[in-house]
Chains A and B, each alone.
Chain A
Amino acid sequence: MAIHTILIIEDDRFIGEMYVRSLRRAGYEVDWMVDGNDGLAAARGKHYDVILLDIMLPERRGSEILQNLRGGAEDLIPNTKVIILTNFDQDEQSRVAMEHNADAYLIKAEITPKKLIAIIQKLDTN
């Protein structure tokens, strides 16, 4: 499957715009939501190839969004790759739970746009 469409759920304006700009330059079609409710609605309303998901979000946390999309009996986004992208140091149990439902778990401070694009390309070839 080829990755074309990406949904970014990120409340930090600087970081959100940074990803949008560099991913669009790399040729992806990008939507960006700044709060958890809008993010979940977008993810359920339209198919995306990749979702970049922050954890600490207004209205609804990233962990709740992931639980809603993948925690039930049916995986609502079976053809989507989910990348958790956060600076939040969550406890081990929650981290393991999220990793279970995600395709990658990254620390934002370690990931420059160039590295993020490399990771998306790697997911694309898998």
Chain B
Amino acid sequence: MAVEKKTETPALVGKFWPAYRDRALLLVGGTQLFIYAIAILAMFTFHVSINPLEWLAIIAVGIASIIVICVVVLGVLRPLGDLSRALVHISGEPTGLTAPNLNDDYYAKSHLRPLLQLIYELAASQPESTEQHAKANASKPAKQTLDVPSLLNNTSTGIIMLNSDHEVIYTNQSAPVHTDQHGTTKIDLLFDASDSIDTWLAERGDHDIRAEHVWRRIADKLPGEEGRRLFDIYVSYQKGSEAETILTLFDQTEQYGPEDEDLDFIAFAAHELRGPITVIRGYLDTLNDELQQALSGDQKELFSRLIVSANRLSGYINNILNASRYDRRHLKVHLNELPVSDIYESISDDMLLRAQSQQRVLNVNIPTNLPTVAADSDSIGEVISNLIDNAIKYSNPGGTIEVSAILAGDFVEVSVRDHGIGMPSNVLANLFHKFYRSHRSREAVAGSGIGLYITKAIVESHGGTISVHSVEGEGSTFTFTLPVYASVAAKLKAAGGDNDMLIERSSSGWIKNHGAFRG
């Protein structure tokens, strides 16, 4: 096998020393043998008589002297052997030999140490030389050195390298970075708070030697800002490496950008609708008061339908606005300490009117003595009204809709129950997806299919959960939870600074709201 390998890989550094040593021994031993042969030949020629004992002595001395001379030659050549061993070692070639140890006394006495040291130092000053050398030996002659950093500036793919302290140590021109006032390079990437590269790297440090991760659709700027780019990002992590973390960023703006513009447009359109709906609802409210005496029973009913429809329209506009905010990761909730009964109170007139005008009985049981929750009153009002709307849609005239709230551990559980058509279990899994509507609803009931999607998003942004229990033909119960204020108060205060009246919290995974609209 060793022979085969030699033929396959020519010009190995490691081959020099054994070959040279063997030739040297052959030469010295051979020369010695040759001299003896001449001497013996001469003795025969001149008929020198030698008895067998003397022959034995001559041959013994001859063999001994060859051995001695070979040992001496080996000793003389040892520095050459050590130097070539050191060279084999730094060349990176596979070898069973150990590298010469600089601390060996022999190297000090023979003054070989500085030479070995020089070899090691030269190798250390060119860290890549060993591998390159091995590769070059194995394949082609050494090629010209490439200026890789400047070549990487020619690609649209961004490259960022971080050291073990997560500091930026290299970026190419396409990388989304800026330099702050302290001269530090900062990465401009708007990760979700719950799934950022920082949190990912923090976990790696404790668990992994090497790891990879992919993020998709990460922007470098907020929507509406000039020159915004959207990236798919591949990150590799190699513990202990000089560039421990390497980010490769693929610019996908052309693919993702138009989708974002659509969302911007939807948000803008929904926002524009807010002006007129404010006026319509306001004047209906004003007229409702002023016309109470003037309207007949029948007209009152028509008027209340106007109010109900305007309120529902307002709710849909809010759903669209919130869904587009959520999709662009803009949705913010403004958490206050509130009793659930107060939240319901703010929408109760509207809900009662809505149920009455559609011949449903609304049965509300929200105890006023439940612990307060951390909630955005408007958003949770929308959640409850979406669920009641849903219950109205999927039940029959005359049906009862029950709204209730109970305490369950650190959460208040709010349920909206109807006794309507219900749903088979196979549709429940998709129920909270955008534009999903249940099996029969496509023909029978109007609706955008956005209500439950945004309802779930709002509840989860409060740190709550939503679930549904349904039996076909018997009805559905939607239940959502909100954290009891006391259980999250410390956390909220820490996040909200001194603003106790209206505590802000960036909901999980969302970035700051952004003034993209004018009104």
Contacts and interface: CB of A to CB of B under 8 A. Distances in A.
Contacts of B501: 99
B332 interface: yes
A108 B284 CA distance: 15
A100 B378 CA distance: 19
A113 B314 contact: no
A89 B499 contact: no
A91 B515 contact: yes
A18 B283 contact: yes
A100 B517 contact: no
Contacts of A114: 285, 289
B518 interface: yes
B282 A15 contact: yes
B329 interface: no
Interface stretch (B79-87, B201-209, B273-281, B360-368): B273-281
Interface string B303-328: 00000000000100110000000000
Interface string A3-30: 0000000001011001101100100000
A18 B284 CA distance: 10
A55 B501 CA distance: 21
Contacts of B332: 92
A12 B514 contact: no
B178 interface: no
Interface residues of A, number: 31
B502 A109 contact: no
Contact of B512 (A56, A87, A92, A105): A92
Contacts of A94: 515
A115 B518 CA distance: 24
A86 B518 CA distance: 10
Contacts of B278: 15, 87, 108-109
A77 to B, nearest CB: 18
23 contacts: A12-B279, A14-B283, A18-B279, A56-B518, A56-B519, A86-B519, A87-B271, A87-B274, A87-B275, A87-B519, A89-B271, A89-B517, A89-B519, A91-B513, A91-B515, A92-B332, A95-B513, A107-B378, A108-B274, A109-B278, A109-B318, A110-B314, A113-B286
